[in-house]
Amino acid sequence: MLGGGVNDLRNLGCGLRVFEVSPTGGGITGRKDSVTAVMTPTAAAPRASTGADRERDFDDFYAAKFDVLRSQIFAYLGDRAEAQDLVQEAFCRAYSRWNQIRKYEDPYSWVRRVAWNLATSRLRRQKTSMTFLRRQREEHLDGPSPDRVALVAALAKISPQLRKAVVLHYLGQLSIAEIAAQEDVAEGTVKSWLSRGRLALAEHLHP
- What are the tens digits of pLDDT across the range 141-164? 556 666 667 788 888 888 889 999
Q: What is the pLDDT of residues 74-132, one digit of tens each?
A: 999 888 999 999 999 999 999 999 999 999 999 999 999 999 999 988 887 765 545 54
Q: Structurally, what CATH architecture does the domain formed by 158-207 represent? A: Orthogonal Bundle (1.10)
The segment(s) of the chain belonging to CATH 1.10.1740 are: 46-142
Q: How far apart are CA 29 and CA 21, in angstroms?
A: 6
pLDDT at 33 over 50: no
CATH number of the structural domain 46-142: 1.10.1740
Return the percent helix, strand and coil in the chain, to nearest 5. Answer: 65, 5, 30
pTM as predicted: 0.57
Can you give the pLDDT at residue 93? 94
How far is residue 138 from each of residues 12, 66, 134, measured CA to CA in Å? 21, 21, 11
Domain with CATH 1.10.10.10 in the chain: 158-207
Per-residue pLDDT for 70 more than 90?
Answer: yes
CB 136 within 8 Å of CB 79: yes
| Contact by Cβ (8 Å): 150, 205 | yes
Closest CA to 107 of 143, 80, 53, 69: 69
